[in-house]
Amino acid sequence: MNICFIMYPWEKITPESDSTLRIIHECVSRGHRVAITTGSKLTIRDSLTMAFCKLFSTKVKYSTSPVTFYKQAKFRDQMLPLAGFDVIFMRANPPLDNIVLNFLDSVKDEVLIVNDVQGLREANNKLYTAAMNDVAQIITPRTFVSKNKDYLLKVIQESTAEKMIMKPLNGFGGSGVIVIEPRAMQNVNSLLDFYITGQNGASNYVILQDFVPGAELGDIRVLMLHGEPIGAMRRVPAEGEARSNVHVGGTVKKHSLTREELRTCRLIGPKLVKDGLFFVGLDLIGGKLIEVNVLSPGGIVNINRLNKVKLQRRIVDWAEDMVHHRTLAASRRMELRKTVSNA
């Protein structure tokens, strides 16, 4: 297969912990032709969407260790048409660059894009999770989204919960997530001013969610592939920290999904597949869905280490199967058209 990764710069990878590197290494190890590029290197040539790529050399015998592979990697630079790839993995860091999606629109019907362009548009912020129409709060905690400060203040004042979570709609990596107590309102007014107005005077949306019991113990990161969970881990926040993200000091522990967590995965799985969100990370607390991570979900390295598995193998197996089925379907269509043409 021909595989392209639209990602962050290669030189900024931390090889010991990078999930994208594991998938790339697996693809190269299987003999696939692999190219990497960044969103800023997409271009148009003769009305075709192209990318200035780094193409992995096929003349190097690479190590079975991803870390050593990273140090050994040899490239040659080449401009390549995106429609010439079988698979494009979108592994850029958030926030989402809509211009990149505009480039990908031109090839979305010809190439398997992980994740789908429209799915990325719909799910790139927390509104995707908040707007699940989960009135009974089976999947998600009670959620409110607005940029109307008076309304949000009223929500907090009328809440019967001991705590609530406040966060910006477009935040990522745990940025801006704080715990508030409706009974201690002294600072809430100024916090809402800061979140809504920000530092640039823009009007921003704010999310309020009921605090889920057990959140202080951390959350569960679940990696989902084609609507099914393939691995999970518990992320435990550092002392005095509300967020459990590893890059802010959280630690990870081995975790087996509970009945409630599996139920949530089963309930949301079909929607993810329908929206073309084939490889995502779910953040769960108390069996409830807090966030869906659709851009470059991480966790492969830690889940592999904790469970002695190699999730990248399952991901590449799936991509190979998807491309195989798409190729067979295209070949069958051509044969049928030929039959009609020759009738």
The string of pLDDT tens digits covering residues 131-190 is 776 666 788 888 899 999 999 999 998 888 888 999 888 777 667 788 888 777 777 888
Q: Using pLDDT thresholds of 50, 70 and 90, give the confidence band for residue 246.
A: low
What was the pLDDT predicted at 68?
97
Count of CB atoms situated within 10 Å of the CB of 37 = 23
Nearest to 92 by CA among 172, 205, 150, 157: 172
Instruction: Look at residue 202 and tell me whether its pLDDT is greater than 70.
Output: no
Is the pTM value of this prediction over 0.85?
A: yes
Count of CB atoms situated within 10 Å of the CB of 123 = 24
Residue 102: both structure tokens together: 């505009």
Q: DSSP characters for 16-37? A: TT-HHHHHHHHHHHTT-EEEEE
Nearest to 83 by CA among 32, 45, 118: 45
Burial letters 236-254, b for 16+ CB under 10 A, else e: bbeeeebbbbbeeebebee
User: Domain 2-114 - what CATH class?
Assistant: alpha beta
> Is 215-309 CATH 3.30.470.20?
yes
What was the pLDDT predicted at 191?
85
Instruction: Look at residue 77 and tell me whether its pLDDT is greater than 60.
Output: yes
Measured CA to CA, the distance from residue 1 to residue 24 in angstroms comes to 13
Measured CA to CA, the distance from residue 289 to residue 137 in angstroms comes to 10
Instruction: Look at residue 275 and tell me whether its pLDDT is greater than 80.
Output: yes
The string of pLDDT tens digits covering residues 8-66 is 999 999 999 999 999 999 999 999 999 999 999 999 999 999 999 999 998 889 999 99
**Ranges in the chain annotated CATH 3.30.1490.20:** 142-210
Reported for 66-75, long-range contacts at CB under 8 A and 24+ positions apart, including other chains, are 66/15, 66/21, 66/22, 66/25, 67/15, 67/16, 69/21, 69/25, 69/28, 70/13, 70/15, 70/21, 70/25, 71/15, 73/10, 75/36
Distances (CA, A) of 125 to 168, 173, 207, 233: 10, 12, 11, 22
Nearest to 209 by CA among 160, 155, 154, 144: 144
**Ranges in the chain annotated CATH 3.30.470.20:** 215-309
Residue 296: both structure tokens together: 């470059």
What was the pLDDT predicted at 245?
59
Residue 145: both structure tokens together: 């989204």
Q: If you count DSSP H runs as helices and E runs as strands, how many of each does the chain have, helices first? A: 10, 16
Measured CA to CA, the distance from residue 227 to residue 322 in angstroms comes to 14
Instruction: Look at residue 244 and tell me whether its pLDDT is greater than 60.
Output: no
Q: Classify domain 142-210 by CATH architecture.
A: 2-Layer Sandwich (3.30)
Distance of CA 329 to the CA centre of its chain: 28
What was the pLDDT predicted at 108?
95
Q: DSSP characters for 186-216? A: TTHHHHHHHHHHTTTS----EEEEEPPTTGG
Residue 48: both structure tokens together: 């075709």
Burial letters 214-232, b for 16+ CB under 10 A, else e: ebeebbbbbbbbbbebbbb
Q: Using pLDDT thresholds of 50, 70 and 90, give the confidence band for residue 267.
A: very high
Question: Where is average pLDDT lowest: 26-35, 164-173, 280-289, 294-303?
Answer: 164-173
Residue entry with tokens 């809440």? 159
